[in-house]
Amino acid sequence: MAAAVEALPHVARLDGGPFGTVASLLPGRRRILGVRLDTRPGGGTAEIAVVARLGLPLPLLAEQVVAAVRAVLGPVTVDLTFSDVVPAVTAVPPAPPRTP
């Protein structure tokens, strides 16, 4: 699910929040920041925190994130937080060829 969200062009990265509390622990003490799942019976909630890139209105990006999460997890409640917004990535033009 984390990879599906990070693959969205207007998501810069997942974010753990101010104290790193939005996180999942995996076997081997590996932590994935920006994703916390409630897997208790009757839970069915995914908490996601992302840093957005400028260029798409946040409500539209929220729809994309929710769709990406549900494509992986099915019909769950998604609690989405935008932790920050950063400039859009722009292509750097190639340097002109050097003449001898």
Q: Are strands 45-53 and 11-14 parallel, antiparallel or unpaired?
A: antiparallel
User: What is the torsional sign of CA 60, 65, 71, 75?
Assistant: negative
Mean pLDDT value of segment 33-58: 87
Rounded mean pLDDT of the chain? 86
Q: Give the pLDDT confidence score for residue 20 in this predicted structure.
A: 83
Whole-prediction pTM: 0.81
Domain coordinates of the chain in residue numbers? 2-86
pLDDT one-digit tens code per residue, 19-36: 888 888 878 878 888 999
Q: Give the pLDDT confidence score for residue 90 in this predicted structure.
A: 64
CB contact at 8 A, 35 and 48: yes
Mean pLDDT value of segment 48-56: 94
Q: Give the pLDDT confidence score for residue 88 in this predicted structure.
A: 84
